[in-house]
Amino acid sequence: MNLIPNYQNKKILIVGLAKSGFYAAKLLHQLGAQVIVNDYKKLTADNPQVQELNSLNIKVITGSHPLSLLDDNIDLIVKNPGISYDNPLIKQAQIKHIPIITEPELAYEISEAPFICVTGTNGKTTTTTLIQLILDCNRSIGHAYKAGNIGIPAIKIAQQATNNDDIVVEMSSFQLMGITQLRPQIAVLTNIYEAHLDYHKTRANYIKAKMNITKNQTPADYFVVNFDQQEWQELAKQTNAQVVPFSRLNKTQAGAYQKGNYLYFKNEKIISVADLALPGQHNIENYLAAIAVAKIYGKSTADICQILTTFKGVKHRMQFVKKLAGRSIYNDSKATNIEATTVALQSFTQPVVLIAGGLDRGFTFDELIGPMKNVKAIVLYGETKKLMAATAQKAHISTIKLVDNLDEAVPLAWSLTSPGDILLLSPAAASWDQFKTFEERGDRFLSDIEKLGE
């Protein structure tokens, strides 16, 4: 870790505790800063994180975001990415011209290891994991670590990584809005669809946030980008880095691409699609992005194939749960938008009983009408259940059931399946109406599935 002097005696406000805020507070204290932590949720003094921070003489203020915190000559704010820039405290900080960053920026500043950063609407976590596994495969010196939006704060990993290591960081648009110096050696853009408009307000703002991943790159760096849509090809023109494209639709052969039943890098045949461990066209794109990064790093085709033929997927992302009484059960809780559920549905030719629903962000779901062609029944819950039911009617799904929550949805959906069917949780909506995270939602689904055998 680089013990940088930048924060010595600086007054720094951490807004939002969680894991990233906790590790940021401890690091900044170690670097000599005067740290205050503020969280909107009321936390008691016996909270383990609060206790540990208090033991370091770090002040923790919870239960609200008082504007008076900014009266103390704050030099910098480290903001939890989930907190909107419309938050009154954050808006007031902007008026006062107080710099605002997110935790990955701080992680980059102290890291000895180079960053490979991955963003996109869909496929981030799978791609991040594939890259990390390939770069770590048969490695003789150092390690490749994964971190970031994948659930492991980058700041935690950056403190232990050395210059012999690499850190593969999944980055959300929320995190990318708070970077100033972060410069990935390799930046990856998996795709961009319409998402998080409740946070970003416009698609243009969302794209701008995503493209921050390459804003500090130079011609010595690489920008690995999906070339399957013209819009994404145009975005590639904004970077100063070397563009390495990938394409499932064979739109380019300058990087990684699918041609027939094989995946290639430039003119080298890498692997047969039939040998890949994960199903689905969307996973082809994730594989191609990972192949491109691996080849930039000089990894052998043998190492790449070793991972691509054995990697079984990431929890909550088209996770195969089990086969039960002839039905195959999949947990795709990470499908927090229409595009993710679309690719999930398109992964199957068998009849599907779909469980969906979640936070209402103010839009309809009619884009799912076509992808729902194999859905024989649908069970809906949450704020969006009536909107989704209207879409299901337009898709001519004969069995449409509405319930209050996921616990009710699972056994009902199971009762609608037959041997050979797919039982799929792919919500097409965020989890925040009933769950704190998509992981919590997915874990509840897994728990409910286990009860089916009782």
Please check if 2 is assigned to a binding site.
no
Q: Report the 10 Å Cβ neighbour count for 204.
A: 9
Length of the chain: 454
pLDDT mean over 39-49: 90
Looking at the predicted structure, is the pLDDT value of residue 197 above 70?
A: no
Is residue 284 within 8 A of residue 248, CB to CB? The reply is yes
Structure confidence by residue, pLDDT tens digits, 202-256? 889 899 999 999 999 999 999 999 999 999 999 999 999 999 999 999 999 999 9
Looking at the predicted structure, is the pLDDT value of residue 347 above 90?
A: no
Quickly name the fold that domain 319-451 has: Protein-Tyrosine Phosphatase; Chain A (3.90.190)
Looking at the predicted structure, is the pLDDT value of residue 151 above 90?
A: no
- 188: which strand partners? 118, 224
Whole-angstrom Cα distance, residue 292 to residue 281?
Answer: 17
Whole-angstrom Cα distance, residue 15 to residue 203?
Answer: 26
Structure confidence by residue, pLDDT tens digits, 82-118? 898 999 999 999 999 999 999 999 999 999 999 999 9
Please check if 21 is assigned to a binding site.
no
pLDDT value at residue 316:
86
Predicted model pTM: 0.80
Looking at the predicted structure, is the pLDDT value of residue 454 above 60?
A: no
Question: Which structure tokens are listed for 429?
Answer: 């909506």
Looking at the predicted structure, is the pLDDT value of residue 62 above 70?
A: yes
Looking at the predicted structure, is the pLDDT value of residue 453 above 70?
A: no
Looking at the predicted structure, is the pLDDT value of residue 280 above 80?
A: no
pLDDT value at residue 149:
85
pLDDT mean over 268-282: 89
- Residue among 281, 263, 287 at smallest CA distance from 273: 263
Please check if 239 is assigned to a binding site.
no
Please check if 190 is assigned to a binding site.
no
Please check if 178 is assigned to a binding site.
no
pLDDT mean over 355-374: 92
Please check if 119 is assigned to a binding site.
no
Structure confidence by residue, pLDDT tens digits, 154-165? 999 999 999 999
pLDDT mean over 67-78: 93
Q: What is the dihedral of CA 53, 59, 64, 69, to 10 degrees?
A: -140
What sign has the CA pseudo-torsion 19, 25, 26, 30? positive
State the architecture of 11-101 in CATH terms: 3-Layer(aba) Sandwich (3.40)
Quickly name the fold that domain 111-308 has: UDP-N-acetylmuramoyl-L-alanine:D-glutamate ligase (3.40.1190)
- 189: which strand partners? 119, 225
Q: Report the 10 Å Cβ neighbour count for 238.
A: 12
Please check if 16 is assigned to a binding site.
no
**Where exactly are the structural domains of the chain?**
11-101, 111-308, 319-451
pLDDT value at residue 46:
87
pLDDT value at residue 116:
98
Looking at the predicted structure, is the pLDDT value of residue 372 above 90?
A: yes
pLDDT category at 319 given cuts 50, 70, 90 is confident
pLDDT value at residue 119:
96
